[in-house]
Every structure is written in structure tokens, then in C-alpha cells.
Amino acid sequence: MAELTIRESLNKALREALDNNENVFIMGEDIGMYGGPYAVTKGLLEEYGSEKIMDTPISESGFVGAAIGASMAGMKPIVEIMTINFSLLAMDQIVNHAAKIHYMSDGQLSVPIIIRTVTGAGGRMGATHSQSFEGWYASVPGLKVVSPSNAIDALGLFRSAINENNPVIFVEHSMLYGVKNEIPDQYYETPIGLPKVLEKGNDLTLIAWSGMIPLAKLVSTELNKRNINTEIIDLRSLNPIDFELIFESVKKTNKVVILDEYWETGSFGSYISSVIQEKCFDYLDGPVGVINSLNVPMPYSAELEDKVIPNIDRALSKIKELFGF
């Protein structure tokens, strides 16, 4: 067992991919000499050279398009887009090309590409650098979307992603890179699409992913002081999702709250809520609660940003409003 941060586990995953597949290469902005804007690719250029670790111009549409073409020709590109906000510049390449080529070619062509990118608020980066668009990509057929909250899953999900034959959007939260876990020495993979119960409980199901998992744990701790036992489910993947584990939890607790960093309007959490309402209506003791960021551009001010994103006070207030505890 070795204790690694998410940053270190991803660096390990990238090294494994480069060592085990001669067709793997990594490209993105500042990933080489600079070592990556979040230091995930630190040391890779010195070890693997510029043919494997490629610094790109600031042109997301260009280098994502180049990676898609390379993947169709038999290579296995890993692309880093500095933040998910910048992926909007490559939206056409990702949504209209990477996601569709396998289908539109009747399976004759594949796009085995991994696009790593960074989501979320909390870093006081302002309205254009603090958004959470992973739910957008999860709504697109042909894209798999994963979003780990801990180092164990970051490594395990990446190992699964590298074996996929079509595109995976690998979303990392900017505030979680320092999260540490004991990583097993033996090789393992984390299945894409399978949620995980982080804490077991009988009174309330809390569903979250990525940067909302620490908040879910805080909420659980506060509710436990009131003798409310909370079951925390980490989605881990947004597309696909095996809902059976979620349904089992809902049938046990009869109460559900979803934590989602996206805005209130059109959120992925609302989609999860609609599925639960449809499939588990007879088991629910009340409405499914969804707690989102407020419908405003993300403030730069630390005090204001903390009020906009889901926080412990709003979560506990919503739970009391819905269920009385």
C-alpha cells in the first residue's frame, strides 16, 4: 500500500499508459516543460521525451481535432484541456466528431481518445474559470464521462478508460488534487458506470460526485449528531450510470438529496432526480431534493463564491425543509 494524492495517482496512471502501450501519447497546453497547470504531468517530458509529451498551442479546437484524427489512425491520445471552461472551444470536435464517428461509420472507425480536463469552483478563479460542465458532456450519446472524488478511483477509472475504444471525458475537480488515499499495491480497475456507497445509512440517501463528495461527508457528520444515519453514494461516472445501487438505497432510506455543483437550471442532478422519481416513486416519503449552485455567474470574491456553490448551511436547511430533520 502506498499513500497517494489524486495528482500523484493520475501521474502514476499516465506513466502506466505510456509504458504499456506504444501508441499512447499525451498532448495539451503547458503539460511538458511546465509540468502541467495542476502538476499532474510533472516529470513526464524528461522521462518520455517530446514525441510522447507534446506541448500544444493555445488552440483547443486544433489540438483536440488533431488527437481525434490520430486516434482514428490507430494512436491512443491522452489530451489535457487546462479547464473544462476551455473545452467549449473544442465543443464541435468533441460533440460532433469524437462522439459520433463510431456510430456514423457503422462501427468501421473508432476514436479511442481520453480527454482530461478540470472542473469546479472553490479556487477563486472567477466566472469564466469556475464552471462545471461535465453534465453537458454526459448528455451526449457516444461520450463516456467519469469524475472521481478520490485517489483510488482516479487511478482505477483511468485504467478502465485507457482500455476503452471510444472517447472518455475524464473530469478532475480543481480542489481535490491533494486528496490522499491508500492505494493497493495489486493492480485493479474501477468499472466505468458503477456508483459506490461511501457511507452506509438507513435514514437518508445523499448522492454526489466529484467536488460535492466532501460536502456530502460534512452533511453526514452533522446529521449523525442528530442520530440521522446517512448513506452517501458517489456516482463516480456520469455516463453511463448503473442506477440499481441508487434504487436499492432509495428503497431503504425513502429519502433522497442530490448535491450538484452545476447551476439550478437544467442540472445533471435534476436528471438523476427525475429517474429516481419515475422508478422509485412508491418508495419515497417526500420530494427528491436537489441542491445546486445559485443561478448567477461564479463570483471572484471568496465570501460570495462560498455562498453561491452548495454549502453546509444550505444543504442542512434544505434537508430540514424537506424531511424535518
Give residue 216's Cα distance to chain centre.
Answer: 16
> What 3-state DSSP class applies to 168?
strand
H-run or E-run covering 323? helix 312-323
CA-to-CA distance for 29 and 299, rounded, in angstroms? 26
Compute the half-sphere exposure of residue 118: CA atoms within 13 Å on the CB side of its CA: 25
DSSP type of residue 107:
T
Residue (of 154, 167, 165, 68) closest to 118 by Cα position = 154
Name the catalytic one among 29, 80, 97, 129.
129
CA 212, 165, 28, 128 torsion: positive or negative?
negative
Show contacts of 94-98: CB within 8 Å, 24+ apart: 94/64, 94/137, 94/143, 94/167, 94/169, 95/137, 95/140, 95/143, 97/65, 97/68, 98/64, 98/68, 98/142, 98/143, 98/167
Residues ≥6 apart with Cβ < 8 Å to 226: 325
Residue 97 designated active-site: no
Residue 129 designated active-site: yes
> What 3-state DSSP class applies to 57?
coil
| Beta-carbon count within 10 A of 54 CB | 19
CA-to-CA distance for 133 and 54, rounded, in angstroms? 26
Name the catalytic one among 29, 60, 134, 261.
60
H-run or E-run covering 258? strand 256-263
Catalytic residue numbers, as ranges: 60, 129
